[in-house]
Amino acid sequence: FCNDHAGSIMNNNNSIKNLDMLKVLDNLYAAAKEYGCEDEVDYLVLDHLLRTSINRVAEQDSPDKKAVIKQMREYVHDKIPNLSACPISLDPSERQKLEELARQLPLIAELSACELFIDCVGDDGGVVVAHAWSNQLGSFYAAPAVGKHVSEEKEPAVFAAWRTGLVQRDLKAVTQEDRTVWQDVVPVYGSGRRCIALLIREKDISERVARDKKYAELAKSYAEEAPTLRDDPSREDHAL
């Protein structure tokens, strides 16, 4: 019924009114904790608040929208990481370490101008538990990657760092949205020097890959032309 209500935040430019949703979500988190279903509220935060509400506020004609978006993003990042999806068991100190690291991701992302992630990996695969990006540049992901599956086929650097404990740099990967990126991966250690997570920096190179592919196809096409045709002086593109 919101779309039929004249005063709905869907239909006006009152950006600050959108912050009422944070109070509602706090109440939902409190109730969900009692029933052990925090994961469902996490999905609501990431899908509705981050993707829908922030995009709506961004389109409003309001002097407050930047401050509102900033507060919404901070709220979401405070609820991340979603460690309930981690495929390995974490002790309290390891959990705290990842939570603290996740809180720093937005600041690091702003400084590095890259997308940052925390992945947890186990024998059966991996999952993204935290995701941050530069507010100034925005994300090249259509939706937050938290909760997404991580495969070795698409992200070999993540699994190489997990298995070897060594930093991996400038390795190509394919995201869950099939974009080509460069990845730097650093292991995060927990109790007993075991790898509990991977800190990942991604830089989108999809346009560069597409450009290189186009140049390669042009070079191949030129090389396959008959020598007599290439050397024909009547061709308009013949070198002077």
Per-residue model confidence (pLDDT) at position 127: 93
Intervals of the chain under pLDDT 50: 1-6, 9-10, 239-240
Per-residue pLDDT, 116: 95
Distances in whole angstroms, Cα of residue 71 to Cα of each of 22, 53, 54, 146, 212: 10, 12, 10, 19, 40
CA neighbor of 121 nearest in space, from 90, 97, 93, 142: 90
Q: Are 161 and 183 in contact (CB under 8 A)?
A: no
Are the beta carbons of 48 and 39 closer than 8 angstroms? no
pLDDT computed for residue 2 by the predictor: 45
| Nearest alpha-carbon partner for 114 in 203, 208, 205 | 203
What pLDDT shows up at residue 186?
A: 97
In whole angstroms, what is the distance from residue 189 CA to residue 49 CA?
Answer: 32
Could you give the count of Cα atoms lying within 13 Å of 34 in the half-sphere of its Cβ? 5
CB atoms under 10 Å from CB of 34, counted, come to: 7
Predicted TM-score of the model (pTM): 0.60
Nearest Cα residue to 96 out of 22, 190, 33, 206: 190
Q: What pLDDT is stored for residue 240 in this prediction?
A: 46
